[in-house]
Amino acid sequence: MNRTGKLRLGVLGSGKGSNFVAVAGACARGELPAEVAIVMSDVADAGILARAAGQGIAARFIPPGKFRTKLDEEAEAAYIGALREARVDLVVLAGFMRILKGDFLKAFPQRVINIHPSLLPSFPGLEAWKQALDYGVKFTGCTVHFVDQGVDTGAIIAQQTVPVLDGDTAESLHARIQQAEHQLYPVAIRLMAEGRIEVRGRSVVTRA
Ligand code: GAR
């Protein structure tokens, strides 16, 4: 928390950063008691870093190290160090395409959340909108969840449904899911910032 009682967010992303823009915008408009303290990426030229820097928010590229799907030990320590230095209360994954486990989760227990572009537990993993389209479901959506040791398996905080329309392409469906993400993520972070989230095993209860 900062001196004004705002939750300090550390946003991690690998892509264009539209969810970051939605969250930062909601913070700036005073819609939730939080502020983005730092944005970090494993991709040097990721749009999310440029968008953060453009808003005067600290933006750091930290190389992921020698693995393809996770951070190596040195990189993990660098991410933890930068988040601690920025006095981050909540780590917000916004299209961060590397798996975080072990020491990272121990450093921020129950303090790492992710947004996933499907109604989990359906379609975990990559290109969830494409998985939904290929499967032929009539509804999909997005999920905000705590990050645990598995891939997209953590306790679910909030979900929003999105219809799959006749004639949808992977791109049109992903765009519709992203619109829902931009609404849902600020709402879920507001619940966290207001201390209204209680975790009971796999169930997340929202207090009034
Ligand atoms: C979002 O749709 C997010 O749900 C997805 O990456 C996109 C990032 O977009 N994340 C995953 O697929 C994680 N498994 P953004 O950079 O515009 O926020």
H or E stretch at 204: strand 203-206
Q: Which residues pair with 59 in a beta bridge?
A: 39
User: Ligand 1 pocket, 113 CB below 6 A?
Assistant: no
Given pLDDT bands bounded at 50, 70 and 90, which one contains residue 5?
confident
CA 145/CA 128 separation, integer angstroms:
15
Question: Does the pTM exceed 0.85?
Answer: yes
What phi and psi, each to the nearest 5 degrees, are found at residue 90?
-135, 130
Pocket test for ligand 1, best of 9, 51, 112, 116 (most atoms within 8 A of CB): 116
pLDDT, tens only, 113-125: 999 999 999 999 9
- Burial label for 29, CB within 10 Å (0-12, 13-18, 19+), is exposed
pLDDT, tens only, 26-75: 999 999 999 999 999 999 999 999 999 999 999 999 999 999 999 999 99
What phi and psi, each to the nearest 5 degrees, are found at residue 112?
-125, 120
Measured distance between the N- and C-terminal CA atoms of the chain, rounded to whole angstroms: 22
